Amino acid sequence: MHTKEEKIQAFSRALEVMDTLREKCPWNGAQTNESLRPLTIEEVYELSDAVIEGDSGAVCKEVGDLSLHVLFYAKVAEEKGEFDIADVLNGMCEKMIFRHPHVFGDASGKPMSAEEVAKAWELRKKKERSGKTILEGVPRSCEPLRKAWILQDKASAVGFDWDAPADVWPKVDEELAEAREAVGLQVEKAPGRSGSTDVSAAHAEEEFGDTLFALVNACRLYGVDPSVALGKACDKFKRRFTYMENTTAERGLDLGKMTLAEMDAIWDEGKAKGL
């Protein structure tokens, strides 16, 4: 591992590289916050994939790519006279110090559990927001599964939560039953007027949303990241479907002309192979 001085030198080098890129590279020099935004989101997903795969080399690379974006945003702001990387880092340090009184000078000196730290964190964040609500800081553009988790977690930090994880299941069952009922209403009304169909479709959407929200809550209470869990389920489906597709081709079969039972049989073969 590197010394603190070597780390400082590396950061200084990164700043120089960014300055040079903005000055001499047409593409880098043309970037704006708006053009960087989708690229930054892509980099976050790539880092997430590397973490899930447990590839430390890939994690190192993707952290570097994401760090480049941090320098990018700071450099763009510096050129506008808004702020620079020093403001970014000092602001981050001040925020961490303020939110960790148990580390940086809690007068009581009492040890805190992880749960107590989380609650104290949310309370201090509320003070920083100067009267804004607890849930107001949740990013609007956050992907829905993650947004549901964040909303529930923030509410839990101030005590709005189930007493025990098992308590969530009746709610999940309730929402699932309502979703089934909503779909039934939609099927019954479909042959009628378009207005009635639109209303029931909107109701079905609402109930499916409530069901997903309840399932995310269950995931949170049992320590399962819903995005990771769903991502792995997608990967598993892809592996098994690809096996089915390749196997049917090897056997001279046309996947599009097979019955569901025939496809299920090959699907189960892949499942038995551990795919």
What's the one-letter identity of residue 49?
Answer: D
CATH number, residue 48: 1.10.287.1080
Please check whether residues 200 and 259 belong to one and the same domain. Answer: no
- 19-23, 41-45, 198-202, 265-269: least confidently modelled range: 198-202
Domain holding 62, by residue range, is 4-86
Please check whether residues 35 and 70 belong to one and the same domain. Answer: yes
Residue 202 lies in a domain: yes
Residue 211: partners with Cβ closer than 8 Å, 6 or more residues away: 172, 175, 176, 178, 179
Residue spans of alpha helices (H) in the chain: 4-24, 26-30, 33-53, 56-79, 85-99, 114-128, 144-157, 169-189, 194-221, 226-250, 260-272
Q: Express each pLDDT in 52-102 by its tens digit.
A: 889 999 999 999 999 999 999 999 999 999 999 999 999 999 989 888 887
Residue 11 lies in a domain: yes
Task: Please check whether residue 109 is in contact with residue 127, taking contact to mean a CB–CB distance below 8 angstroms.
Answer: no
Domain count, the chain: 3
What's the one-letter identity of residue 34?
Answer: E
φ, ψ (nearest 5 deg) of residue 82 = -90, -55
Residue 187 lies in a domain: yes
Please check whether residues 235 and 185 belong to one and the same domain. Answer: no
Q: Express each pLDDT in 187-208 by its tens digit.
A: 555 444 444 445 588 899 999 9
What is the mean predicted confidence (pLDDT) over 166-192? Answer: 82
Q: What is the pTM of this model?
A: 0.64
Cα–Cα dist 11/15, whole Å: 6
